[in-house]
Amino acid sequence: MNRTKSIKRQAIVLPLLLIAMLLIGSCGEAKLKLNKPPHAYEGTRLTTHVNDLDMAHTGKGTSSQIIRHPGHTLSYNNNWRLPNWVAYELTREETDGNVERTDWFDEDPQVHGTRVRHSDYTNSGFDRGHMAPAGDMKWDKQAMIASFYMSNICPQVHALNAGIWNTLENKVRTWAKRDSAIIIVSGPIVPQQHMTIGRNNVAVPTHFYKIIASPYNNSPRGIAFIMPNEDCELPLYKYAVTIDSVESRTGIDFLYNLPDSLENYIEQNYDLKAWQL
C-alpha cells in the first residue's frame, strides 16, 4: 500500500523535557524547530511530521541546499556533488515494508546547479553508496525511488559498501525494531584536497560517518561511527565514537532541535552494551 511518511507516522516521542529532567536533573529550553507547529498530542506522546524536523545543521561557509524527499532529508553540497548529510527517522513498523528495490539511479530533480548522473560513477572503481539505504525505505514506493537519487549517493569502495557499512545498516534496522523509532544521519568526510570522479567532478570521501540516536526511548541513547573509505577489517565496535566526535570532524551540529541537556547527554556518551556491540 502506497503511503506517505507524514500520514503513516504515529509518533513515538516521549516528552523530551521530562526525559531530560530525569536524566540530567535540569533541562535547557526546548529548541524544537519545526516548519509547522506540533499538531496533535496523544497522551504523553507528541505527533509531528518527521520532515518538519531538521536533524542536522550545516556549518557556515559550507555549500548547502536543503532538500526534502519522501523518506529522507538532505543537505546537498554543490562543490562536492555530494550530500553533507542525509537524515531520516526509521520506525519499527517501517522495517517490515515490502516495496522492492528500484535499482534505478537517477538525477535529483530538486538539486540546484550541477546534477550528478549515474554515468559519473561508471568505470570509476567506486560503488554508488547509499547514505539513506534502500533497505530502510521498503515502507513506501516514493521513498524507495527517492533513495536512488544521486544526491543520496557517495563514491564508496566496494569492500566497505558490501562489508561493514552494510553490517551497520542491518544493525540500524535491528535497533529501530527494538526502540520503536530512531534517528539516523549519515554522510561523507571530504578533506580540502581530494580526488574526484566523472565528468561532473564528484568528490571522493576519505571517510564516512553514521550517527544513530534514540531520544524517544525510556533510556535515551546515541552512538556514532566513523569508517575509512576502504576495506575495514576490524569489528564494528572499533569504529564507534561519540556523536560529538563526528561534530568536531565535520562541523555539523546534529540533533540541535532537542532540549540542550538531552542533546548533550546523547552526544557526549555511548554505551557499547546498550547497543549490543
Distance (Å, whole) CA 158 – CA 125: 8
Distance (Å, whole) CA 277 – CA 271: 9
Residue 29: all three cell numbers together: 529550553
Residue 39 designated active-site: no
Which residues contact residue 164 at a Cβ distance below 8 angstroms, ignoring those fewer than 6 apart? 227, 232, 236, 239
Distance (Å, whole) CA 187 – CA 201: 18
Which residues contact residue 207 at a Cβ distance below 8 angstroms, ignoring those fewer than 6 apart? 188, 189, 226, 227, 228, 229, 249
**Identified catalytic residue from 69, 72, 130, 207:** 130
Distance (Å, whole) CA 226 – CA 48: 30
Distance (Å, whole) CA 273 – CA 26: 26
Of 216, 192, 225, nearest to 206 by C-alpha is: 192
Q: Which amino acid is at 32?
A: L
Report DSSP letters for 40-56, one per residue. EEETTEEE--GGGB--E
User: Are 19 and 215 contacting, i.e. CB atoms less than 8 angstroms apart?
Assistant: yes
Catalytic (active-site) positions: 130
